[in-house]
Amino acid sequence: MATDTYTYTNKIKNLLKKPSSLFQLSTTELYYKIIENNEGELTELGAINARTGKYTGRSPKDKFIVTEPSYKDDIDLEAKDELYVFKGFAGSDKKTTLPLTVINELAWHNLFAQNMFIRPESKKEAESIDSGFTIVSAPKFKADPAVDGTNSETFIIVSFKHKIVLIGGTEYAGEMKKSIFSVMNYLLPKGNIMSMHCSANVGKKGDVALFFGLSGTGKTTLSAAADRKLIGDDEHGWNEHGIFNIEGGCYAKAINLSRKKEPQIYDAIKYGTVLENVVVDSEGNVDFDDNYYTENTRAAYPIHHIDNIVVPSKAAHPNTIIFLTADAFGVLPPISKLTKQQAMYHFLSGFTSKLAGTERGVTEPEPSFSTCFGAPFMPLNAKVYANLLGEHIDKHDVDVYLVNTGWTGGKYGVGRRINLNYTRKMVDQAITGELKNAEFTKDEMFGLNIPKDIEGVPQTILNPINAWSKPEEYKEQAQDLISRFKDNFAKFGEEAEDIAQIDVFCIAYIKLFDDSSSSYATTEVPTFSI
């Protein structure tokens, strides 16, 4: 039996009024509940470690944006002895802040929500929040695909009309943050504000850098720099005043984490942090190198766990944009400077390799094109986001670089992953402006401008063909990737079908997207009712 959204909205109000609904618990109170309910374990670092069951990554194919939905009334949270309620915000720019209510079945999910969203200053302030959107997370309620029309037992349902997100069938906590990111990606552009799947930091001179990229490309790692203040690690808006963080926390990959390689992230894992799926021994010792449960181990912590941050999480217009890709083919250069046309092209393409564990079913790197570096979270037409980016690049004279944090000297399984220290040196020179006037050479396969020399980086890796033992194998692999770019680009229109070179079909993109009649949508999300 189904019930309409008005009825379900009233159900949510009743849940909030339940005497057993635990409102705005402190970190310590949630710790007690997590341990008491056997939802997680305390580690030597002071963090809580929880396991998400069989779903250790996002489920983009199980996300549905509905127009006028009805919901199954079987999500019977009223029968639960205890629920956990948190009120907070998304968006550090007060003019566009979205008030939130999060209702959780699990205590550790509530702590996750407190870490990832912006916390009110006090419980009294929380009580006064009139929610603009409500998340209901019921992981133990599972859909029946045969009855409900879903793709699996997992569902993430977003209703913009009724301002509700329903999540069920998965304990992966990241679905909460990504659902609200999708909401903000719908709302912000309507106010002519660019919404972005990127991290951001600012230097001592006020110079701002943005890092676009999908999970596993290095957004969090590269934006957490000792000599630059962190604005945010994943989701931002760009308005007439500059950059602002959408979140209140960070969600870092924890696999192979060490203090030596990533000191800021390592030191942020302490009391109040939620670890996901890491291996912990009987004495609470954490082994970040063990991928027994998944490659996608995570750490969710409030942004104030990092000392070097901007408060509030806002800064001026960016000077530099970094597009991050983890190229499993091993053919893209570790860094290249993009023209305006190339920048627009690569933004629309959003090429990377999905790394193991970042999504359900991904066990080894596989090539992927995700429009605007976040297609599952972009509900509007792609050209809305692309046009906003292009306008901002022109208006603020932004330098744009493509950085490959993936493989060199061969494809995955043959070559090696580019050394993080080398990547840091290249990125540092890009965001400080040192690369701007460097001598460049044009790559013969992709038409990309590659710096001839960067201090502290071996010249052999700068031009990827030089890192391969057999140049002919490099060219063959590069042509394979170019073909994939062309195939992906074909969805933008027939004009791109016969174009072979990436730098050429950038021009086709500009022509195509000047056509307001284009009906291309960022993501094909089914519309349905359950």
pLDDT tens, position by position, 415-456: 999 999 999 999 999 999 999 989 999 998 999 999 999 999
pLDDT at 304: 97
Residue 518 placed within a domain: no
Report pLDDT for 78: 64
Domain with 459 in it: what CATH number? 3.90.228.20
Give the confidence band of 520 by pLDDT, cuts at 50, 70, 90: very low
CATH of the domain at 113: 3.40.449.10
Residue 148, pLDDT score: 84
292 and 373 co-located in one domain: no
pLDDT band at 117 (very low <50, low <70, confident <90, very high): very high
Do the domain assignments include residue 238? yes
Annotated catalytic residue 51: no
Q: Is residue 524 part of a domain?
A: no
CA–CA separation, 451 and 438 (whole Å): 6
Strand, coil or helix: 519: coil
> CB neighbours of 345 closer than 8 A, spacing ≥ 6?
502, 505, 506, 509
Residues 244, 337, single domain; the answer is no
Among 234, 327, 443, 503, the active-site one is 234
205 catalytic residue (yes or no): no
Same domain, 70 and 181: yes
- The catalytic position among 51, 58, 63, 360 is 58
Q: Are residues 419 and 467 in the same domain?
A: yes
H/E segment holding residue 471 = helix 471-489
- Same structural domain for residues 237 and 171? yes
Same domain, 107 and 254: yes
Residue tagged 């933008």 (tokens): 492
Residues 51-62, mean pLDDT to the nearest whole number: 87
Among the ranges given (43-52, 54-63, 109-118), the one the predictor scored with the smallest mean pLDDT: 54-63
In a domain, 525, yes or no: no
How many percent of the chain have pLDDT more than 70?
Answer: 86
pLDDT grade, residue 215 (50/70/90)? confident
Structure confidence at residue 367 (pLDDT): 83
Q: Work out the pLDDT band at 318, boundaries 50, 70, 90.
A: very high
Mean pLDDT of 263-290: 97
At 237 the pLDDT is 98
| pLDDT value at residue 340 | 86
- Are 398 and 288 contained in the same domain? no
Decide if pLDDT at 357 tops 60: no
Q: Does some domain include residue 312?
A: no
Residue 499: predicted pLDDT: 30
pLDDT reading at 511 higher than 50: no
Is 220 catalytic? The answer is yes
pLDDT tops 70 at residue 12: yes
Instruction: Give me the catalytic one of 119, 162, 197, 236.
Output: 197
Please check the confidence at residue 337 and state whether its pLDDT lies above 60: yes
Q: Is the pLDDT of residue 73 over 80?
A: no
- Give me the pLDDT at residue 63, please: 83
The residue that leads in pLDDT, 330 or 358, is 330
Average pLDDT in the 103-126 region?
Answer: 97
Q: Which residue has the higher pLDDT, 299 or 412?
A: 299
Catalytic residue, candidates 219, 236, 253, 411: 219
Q: From the candidates 33, 162, 177, 178, which is the catalytic residue?
A: 178
Our answer to whether residue 131 is catalytic in this structure is no
Burial of 465 (0-12, 13-18, 19+ CB in 10 A): middle
Given 52, 215, 273, 294, the catalytic residue: 215
Q: Averaged over 376-388, what is the pLDDT?
A: 90
Distance CA 514, CA 512 (A): 5
d(CA 15, CA 84): 10
By residue count, the chain amounts to 530
Cβ(128)–Cβ(152) below 8 Å: no
Residue 463's pLDDT is 96
3-state SS of 256-312 is CCCCCCCHHHHHHCCCCCEEECCEECCCCCEECCCCCCCCCCEEEEEHHHCCCECCC
Residues 274 and 329 in one domain: no
Nearest to 360 by CA among 99, 63, 75, 16: 63
Residue 528 confidence (pLDDT) above 50 = no
Residue 296 has phi, psi (to 5 degrees) of -90, 50
| DSSP letter string, 150-185 | -SSS-EEEEETTTTEEEEES---THHHHHHHHHHHH
Q: Which of 41-45, 345-349, 362-366, 466-470 has the lowest mean pLDDT?
A: 362-366
Catalytic residue among 150, 154, 220, 273: 220
pLDDT exceeds 80 at position 310: yes
Distance CA 460, CA 21 (A): 60
Give the number of other CB atoms < 10 A from CB of residue 60: 17
Query: Which entry of 33, 72, 298, 411 is annotated as an active-site residue?
Result: 298
For residues 319-357, one letter each, b for 16 or more C-beta atoms within 10 angstroms of the residue's C-beta and e for the rest, the string is: bbbbbbbbbbbbbbbbbbbbeebbbbbbbbbbbbbbbbb
| Same domain? 190 vs 323 | no
Tokens 């094909």 sit on residue: 524
Average pLDDT rounded to a whole number, residues 267-293 = 97
Instruction: Report if residue 314 sits inside a domain.
Output: no
The pLDDT > 90 percentage for the chain reads 70
Q: Are strands 249-253 and 274-276 parallel, antiparallel or unpaired?
A: unpaired
Which amino acid is residue 84, in one-letter code?
Answer: Y
Q: Are residues 244 and 349 in the same domain?
A: no
Q: Are residues 298 and 417 in the same domain?
A: no
Whole-number pLDDT of residue 50: 98
- Give me the pLDDT at residue 200, please: 97
Separation of first and last alpha carbons in the chain: 9
Structure confidence at residue 382 as a pLDDT band (50, 70, 90)? confident
pLDDT at 247: 98
The answer on pLDDT for 521 being more than 80 is no
Position 529 in a domain: no
Query: What 3-state DSSP class applies to 390?
Result: helix
Note the pLDDT of residue 508: 38
Whole-number Cα distances in Å, 415 to 312, 402, 485: 42, 20, 21
281 pLDDT higher than 70:
yes
- The domain containing residue 330 runs over which residues? 319-513
Residue 8 pLDDT class (50, 70, 90 cuts)? low
Last residue of a domain, one of 276, 305, 334: 305
Single-letter residue type at 497: E
- Amino acid 20: pLDDT: 75
Instruction: Kindly report, residue by residue over 466-504, the tens digit of the pLDDT.
Output: 999 999 999 999 999 999 998 887 776 654 343 334 444
Domain assignment of residue 523, yes or no: no
What's the mean pLDDT in 250-262? 94
The domain tally of the chain equals 2
The verdict on whether 119 is a catalytic residue reads: no
The Cα 234–Cα 196 span in angstroms is 8
pLDDT band at 43 (very low <50, low <70, confident <90, very high): very high
For residues 462 and 68, the model is more confident at 462
Mean pLDDT of 20-30: 94
Does 424 participate in catalysis according to the annotation?
A: no
pLDDT at 3: 39
Band of residue 360 on the pLDDT scale cut at 50, 70, 90: low
Tell me the range of 59-68, 73-82, 263-272 where mean pLDDT is highest: 263-272
pLDDT band at 4 (very low <50, low <70, confident <90, very high): very low
256, 339: one domain: no
Q: Model confidence over 226-235: pLDDT tens digits?
A: 899 999 999 9
Chain mean pLDDT for the chain = 87
What pLDDT sits at residue 15? 77
